[in-house]
Structure 1
Amino acid sequence: LPEDVANVLVTAGHTGRSAVPYLRQVRPFGFICSDGGGAREGSGRAGLAVVEADGLAGATVDARRAAMGDGLSSYRDGIISGANALAQAAGVAIGMSAREAARLLARRTI
């Protein structure tokens, strides 16, 4: 929706490649998802780099710090474990709270 243009999506799902079609369809201004515990060869956050080419700024939270399946926990309890270059350019950094990262993503300019 037009009024959602600057919203940041915070979910409890992983950021693996299977999440990419959904992110491309929704096209959030920014997003924060789980890293899925890293998973094999970092596959739990593999989608970060893929959607960067689409202009989507995104980050992941450490799955050990936020409850899976609970997006509010990702926002309240999440600690950033990864970020693509677009999110980093907005000031998102590993170790910061998801709450602060969401604020930075919402304020970014494109």
Structure 2
Amino acid sequence: MPNIKQDNRTYYRQLYIKVEPGQIYAFIPGTIIDIFVKKGQKVKKGTPLCALHAMKMDNEICSPVDGIVQTINIKKDQVVSKNDVLIMISSDDVSEKQIQDKAPSKETKEKKEKK
């Protein structure tokens, strides 16, 4: 991990990980209360995808890009953690296999939880 020395103290920076614009993450832990899209549906930037209930508020999660819903990794009333991939959207020219290759696998997630 890169570090920066200042005033005889060492500060560690988090590594920057590029986020794919079509991967919709949970920005806060909560419960999915509704899903507004289906697999294969075309969406435009700003289209509501799902609703997340967290901290006594209902948060509508909208699409940041134009594209097609490739995968939906959530179900209604499912509890999600921060940074869980909820929905993946691709443009017309990106295949589903390419998206799945970029998404973290369940095995990787399970290994992190065991630590």
Identify the structure with the greater helix proportion.
1
TM-score by length of 1: 0.29
TM-score by length of 2: 0.29
Q: Which one has a bigger Cα radius of gyration? A: 2
Identify the structure with the greater strand proportion.
2
